[in-house]
Structure 1
Amino acid sequence: METRRIRLGELEVAYLTTGPEDGPPAVLLHGYPDTAWSWRYLAPVLAARGYRVVAPFQRGYAPTGLAPDGCYQSGALVADAVALRRALGDRRPALLVGHDWGAVAAYGAAVFAPDLWDRVVTMAVPPLATAAEVRDPRLVGEQLRASWYTVFQQLPWVSEAVLDRLVPQLWADWSPGHEASGDVPRVLAALDTPARRTAALSYYRAWLQPWHRSPRYRREERAVFGLPVHPLLYLFGSEDGCVRPELSRLAAPLCETVEVPGAGHFLPVERPDAVAAAVTAFLDR
């Protein structure tokens, strides 16, 4: 995959790309702690189907720039996805794929600007409307325990200081048994300065601390809680240690769901063949 750059207003975005230049666009959004390289297996599959694949490094992750406005809330990620899609210059509706925070951004971008997309694929974070389907208080408790890192990462300076140890731990906890030596160094390289570490952690701080959010992205922020009107496929791993599989299964009434056996949270790199098979079957329908 080739690395290119594009300006979205004051933000310079780096992205990986492959596939025919005249193909319909497919925008692939990564999450935390991850990079655009997590799409290295799915991107060639989509390119072989004729898509022009564009996988950006999210704001704050090198080689993309830091946010000029200092905002890292989910609404800003939605705005970036929409701006990127428009900057690509192709009027055809695009395929939108997102994992983790990229999934949150994908829900929001599809709801906020529905005419830009024709199908949506998300992974590892179900539609946020799934929360309304929870009936078992034990599941709430289990998910809160699994989400300890969200609270820890609210701590300034401390969580930045231990990120070198935290990132490998999260990969090990969230994808048990997966050998992450091909991805963890890429994540740490993308977060190689104090400012970039703060940027990645600010995604979580903006989620829980309103003073980290800007009114500029109010409409985009609301959109992440909606449900896309497009055909929507949600994939999750049966061994996910970040988002409880029991929670993900509750998304079934809201969209098409596929549980990938033996996969954890980072299923695009853990079970690339199963992910590719599910996505291509979805596209064929």
Structure 2
Amino acid sequence: MLPRVHDLSLPTHDVGVLEWGPADGRLVVALHGFPDTAWTWRRVAPLLVELGFRVVAPFLRGYAPSGIPADGDYSVRALAADAVALHEMLGGGPDTVLLGHDWGAITTNAVAADPGSPYGAHVSLAVPPLTAMNPSRATLRPWLTAMARQPFHSWYIAANQVPGLSERNFERLTTRLWRSWSPAYDASEDLALLRSAVPDREHARAVVSYYRAMLGSGIKPALAEPVQPLLVLHGDGDRCMEPGLARIAGATIIPGAGHFLQLEQPEAVAREVSRFLA
């Protein structure tokens, strides 16, 4: 099932979107992460459409065909504001769903922490709410084990802080991350789509700036406790975010999936989403 492709205009930039399903279906706004594109939903979206949903996946700010934002803001606060604005622009109602993976999940978690979220349900893939990963006495030992492993996965965050480093080596960096995070998955098609969305250093600088914005106050919305209905899904073979931390956070674990579970196990993801929304 091929999506419809069209553009929307936000105050700071134009947004390219992919859309599947009937115009009168229950709306799902699906946010991708790094280093990825809106095409990451191409396997889950048709399954949700079969259940009567309308799925709209925007390319996040800085990922072509979306524009590079005029305000240069890549904070979680800005990403959450984009998600809220898209709800209105797409005619969302109180039953609209916000679905996010990776940075899209961070954004979803932040929106779910807002008592005024316009979304009726929220689903995060591969990144649980940061507050939910704190250990209790019963989970202290597995938490310590997971935390000892996590720095070996998170080295790229520090690399993305170095001006110019990731921009110059973007293709090599992102190829390595896909292979490391989901080692059993062939990402050839996704990497080709990523090259189209990040065709030059200007776009590469934009998308790694999400990590540079983590050091400012714009990260604060991601540190809040979710207060809205939220489902968290996580692959049991994820090599970006330790599955042990996701278990402590109460995530539903998807067997046979790495970090990109929506591509590796789309049927299982769609099934869990539909159960949650039912």
TM range (shorter): over 0.9
- Deviations along 1:229-264, one digit per CA (max 9) or x if unpaired, are 333211111111100111111111xxxx32111210
Q: Using the TM superposition, give the Cα deviation of residue 86 of structure 1 relative to its aligned residue in structure 2, in angstroms.
A: 1.3
- Aligned counterpart, 2:5: 3
Q: Indicate the RMSD between aligned Cα atoms, in angstroms.
A: 1.6
Q: Using the TM superposition, give the Cα deviation of residue 74 of structure 1 relative to its aligned residue in structure 2, in angstroms.
A: 1.4
Q: Using the TM superposition, give the Cα deviation of residue 274 of structure 1 relative to its aligned residue in structure 2, in angstroms.
A: 1.4
Moved over 6 A (4+): none
- Aligned counterpart, 2:221: 223
Residue 73 in 1 paired to residue 50 in 2?
no
Q: Name the amino acid aligned to 2:20.
A: T
Q: Secondary structure at the match of 1:249?
A: helix
Residue 185 in 1 paired to residue 192 in 2?
yes
For the Cα contact (< 8 Å) 1:82–1:113, is it kept in 2? Answer: no
Structure 1 segments unaligned to the other structure (5+ residues): none
Structure 2 segments unaligned to the other structure (5+ residues): none
- Aligned counterpart, 2:106: 104
- Deviations along 1:33-56, one digit per CA (max 9) or x if unpaired, are 111101011111222222221110
Residue 176 in 1 paired to residue 183 in 2?
yes
Q: Secondary structure at the match of 2:68?
A: coil
Q: Secondary structure at the match of 1:117?
A: coil
- Aligned counterpart, 2:237: 239
Cα distance in 2 for partners of 1:161, 1:185 equals 18
Q: Using the TM superposition, give the Cα deviation of residue 115 of structure 1 relative to its aligned residue in structure 2, in angstroms.
A: 4.5
Cα distance in 2 for partners of 1:159, 1:231 equals 36
For the Cα contact (< 8 Å) 2:75–2:210, is it kept in 1? Answer: yes
Q: How does 1:187-202 map to 2 (within 5 A)?
A: 187-202=194-209
Q: Secondary structure at the match of 1:81?
A: helix
For the Cα contact (< 8 Å) 1:241–1:265, is it kept in 2? Answer: yes
Residue 26 in 1 paired to residue 33 in 2?
no
Q: Using the TM superposition, give the Cα deviation of residue 131 of structure 1 relative to its aligned residue in structure 2, in angstroms.
A: 3.5
Q: Using the TM superposition, give the Cα deviation of residue 4 of structure 1 relative to its aligned residue in structure 2, in angstroms.
A: 1.0
Q: Name the amino acid aligned to 2:54.
A: R
Stretch deviating more after TM superposition (134-143 or 274-283): 134-143
Q: How does 1:1-285 map to 2 (within 5 A)?
A: 1-112=3-114, 114-133=116-135, 135=140, 136-208=143-215, 210=216, 221-252=219-250, 257-284=251-278
What TM-score comes out, normalization by structure 1 length?
0.90
Q: Using the TM superposition, give the Cα deviation of residue 25 of structure 1 relative to its aligned residue in structure 2, in angstroms.
A: 1.5
Q: Secondary structure at the match of 2:120?
A: strand
What TM-score comes out, normalization by structure 2 length?
0.92
- Deviations along 1:172-204, one digit per CA (max 9) or x if unpaired, are 000012111110111121111211100111001
Cα distance in 2 for partners of 1:87, 1:98 equals 18
Query: How many correspondences in the alignment?
Result: 271
Cα distance in 1 for partners of 2:52, 2:116 equals 22
